[in-house]
Amino acid sequence: MEKELFNRFKNMSRNPEPADVNTVCRISEGTSVKGEINSRNDLRIDGEVEGKLFSEGRIVVGEKALIKGAILCNDLDLWGAVDGDVYVKELLSVKSTAKVSGSLHVRKLQVEMGAAFNGTCKMITDSDFEEAPAAGASQPAEVE
């Protein structure tokens, strides 16, 4: 996770309005995406994503979903599979069907029985979330 993503998250204001169906981005089952996804709104992933996911809101990873890459968000409900580092400012909820391989950096963690987790976990504060660079991440090039 590059420092640029943390700075973007820090500088964006959280939308206080509850999400409606028209503001939630959805990647449906049978769909695959390669690249970085950035959203100010909530995301629902039921397909496959290879790349970074960034949301100022909640990300829901459905049971059949596969994420290969880092996730940075406010809240995460994880039912499917993730292979990558996860940074959650508030609550990570790992459901019984979830499979996680990578390091977790979370403020609050909830894990259901049956979930599979291989990696490390670090409990963080709000300031840790905003300041923490990912270990070993390359610094992004300056864009003018």
Q: Which two tokens stand for residue 138?
A: 């390359």
End-to-end CA distance of the chain: 21
pLDDT digits (tens, 9 = 90+) for 84-109: 999 999 999 999 999 999 999 999 99
Task: Give the predicted TM-score (pTM) of the model.
Answer: 0.78
pLDDT digits (tens, 9 = 90+) for 35-69: 999 999 999 999 999 999 999 999 999 999 999 99
Place of tokens 């039921």: 46
pLDDT confidence tier of residue 24, bands split at 50, 70 and 90: confident
Q: Is the pLDDT of residue 21 over 60?
A: no
Q: Give the count of alpha carbons within 13 A of 106, CB side only.
A: 19
To the nearest 10°, the Cα dihedral for 11, 15, 20, 21? 0
